[in-house]
Structure 1
Amino acid sequence: MSSLFVSRSLADIRFWSRMMKEHTIFLRFGFTIDQTQYAEEADRFRQLFEEIEQKSMAFDEKTEPEKMARFNMEVYHATAHLWTFKRRMLEYVLTGQMVCHHPPLFFDHLAREAAYFMRRLEYLNKGTIEPPGDAIINETIFYLRVMSDHTRLLSIRIDPSERDLLAETADFSYQFDQLLFQAIDMESMRPASQNKALLESFLSRNQTPITSLCEFKQSVCSMIEDSQVRHALPFLLADHMLREAEYFRDVLDGFSKHVSDMQPSFPTL
């Protein structure tokens, strides 16, 4: 383990612990007035991840790797408990035990992000700093699905009278669905699809759409701030979706740099 392990761990924890904290806020205000037990549980998770955020600020790149690894596991276990809570709420909604202000996809979406964060921490503690080829495809599938979910969740928060904005949201939804299906095809063609040329083409096809989606989400945030759009979308949620899109854009850039350093594959005759 090295300083690179520490810096990658801190970057992941500082970003994703903030995402987990905000998830608990969204969950908290999605429960109805009589669901105080779940609202209080969500609030306890919010406090937990606020503490994790604060603790992470006491670390820096000079932190001993062993100490960082222990903190990674502490965060892993906290996230695992939150994942369990999210999946329990999803089960209650799907089985009719609970009716709240969030659709089932919302709970599933939040749980998938928690599971992803846990995998990232596992990878890091096992010494996997640079992503192997299969992780590049798998993580791109994960993020494309997140972006596709965002477009659907945005559409149910924008007023039906905002026809142009909803049409633009629907266009992004279709576009990211198609990118997701292409990525799933790449995944099913492994290991042959993990060569340098195909991975470069695969990542390149995703970079322009995610840049456009970032710009669209930034525009939505600005319209909310300036009261220029009819909606039921809290600014924090819109900004949360924007930051995740920007994070995916940066992840793609990192993958592209990694793939550019790979040795080209040559067909065997």
Structure 2
Amino acid sequence: MQNRFIISRFIQDIDLDDNSILSKMKDSEPTIEEAQRLGRFGQKLHLADDDSLMSETEFIQRSLEENQFWLRIMMEHAFFLKAGLPHDATHLIKQTDEFQRIFEKQLERSFETTRDPADIEALNQDTIMLTHKITVFKEKLLNDTLSGRVRGFNFPLLLEHVRREAIYFLKTIKQINSRIEKPIEDDIVEENVFFLNIMAEHSKFIAHLLDPTEETLIRQARAMGQEFDVLLYQARNIQVEPPSTDRLRTQLTISKGATLELRNFKEQATKLVEQAQVRSAIDPRLASHITREAGKFLSIIDRLEERIH
């Protein structure tokens, strides 16, 4: 209860201009009513069918899983963004500190919340408000960086990357809170397009943060980035026409194989970074962070494979 009070005060107090992000999200997202009526491939959704509605158990389980994973990710984003800010950006530094603190509180709350559906829905609602706030912050920081108003060491692509993850988290929790299951085709295509892009960018970040003398590791990271770029292109092509079940299964199999390979590479790189056996500007916490995200994608692939079977 105390954590929720702190979070509510934070939501009220933080001063951000969120008109830009709100308008963009409204333009890019269908309404819940539209999503209920029509899937990506023109399939009518019959909401009376059990297959289109989450069970109470699934609603609770997925809510907790997504909160407990992504709240930690959002908390760490605040830490990484702060590390890349110039020392004189005191207002921005203070905001990242606040985001780190408040997401940690919400993460603690997610582990303490009872499995009562009403409590879970309240958790989700507060998470939505908090994640919206950090999404606005990330977009403003990105725009200020691109315009030169803010200098520092945060790559613009990194800012786009963490903003995209916040929007994904926001959409995911909203979808779960609606208790409406996406059509399987939509679910597979959207998750693959999102995560294959994330995996590609992780590989590129690794290549850029390694010391120039680490030529072998840099080549490996770049090669993986190129592989995921190709997979992303293939996944996006599935959106052109309704895919067959076999094609969807194949997409999941290919994505799983490539992501397993990348996760293994990340795990090895994390150990090397932690033991100071590789020259790089990679924080061990960042190495762990991107490794967990690869694991998250693998768990989503497992869920999608269960749905398609």
Same fold (TM over 0.5): yes
**How does 1:1-269 map onto structure 2 within 5 Å?**
2-60=56-114, 63-129=115-181, 132-189=184-241, 192-193=242-243, 195-260=244-309
Give, in whole Å, the separation in 1 of the partners of 2:298 and 2:111.
Answer: 25
Give, in whole Å, the separation in 1 of the partners of 2:105 and 2:248.
Answer: 39
- Alpha-carbon RMSD: 1.1
User: Normalised by the size of structure 1, how large is the TM-score?
Assistant: 0.92
User: Are the aligned partners of 1:45 and 1:82 in contact in 2 as well (CA < 8 Å)?
Assistant: yes
Give, in whole Å, the separation in 2 of the partners of 1:123 and 1:236.
Answer: 30
Give, in whole Å, the separation in 2 of the partners of 1:57 and 1:207.
Answer: 29
| Structure 1 unmatched runs, 5+ | 261-269
User: Are the aligned partners of 1:5 and 1:129 in contact in 2 as well (CA < 8 Å)?
Assistant: no
Give, in whole Å, the separation in 2 of the partners of 1:218 and 1:152.
Answer: 16
**1:123-167 CA-partner distances (Å, limit 9, x unpaired):** 111112466311210111000000011011111110000000001
Runs of 4+ in 1 over 6 A off after TM superposition: none
Structure 1 residues 12-21 or 67-76, which shifts more? Answer: 67-76
Question: How far 1:3 sits from its partner (Å)?
Answer: 2.3
Give, in whole Å, the separation in 2 of the partners of 1:57 and 1:138.
Answer: 28
Structure 1 counterpart of 2:295, one-letter code: E
Structure 2 counterpart of 1:48, one-letter code: I
User: Are the aligned partners of 1:72 and 1:125 in contact in 2 as well (CA < 8 Å)?
Assistant: yes
User: Are the aligned partners of 1:90 and 1:104 in contact in 2 as well (CA < 8 Å)?
Assistant: yes
User: Normalised by the size of structure 2, how large is the TM-score?
Assistant: 0.80
| 1:219 to 1:174, Cα distance in 2 relative to 1, 3 A | same
Give, in whole Å, the separation in 2 of the partners of 1:72 and 1:136.
Answer: 23
Q: Specify the SS of the correspondent of 2:112.
A: coil
Identity of aligned residues (%): 29
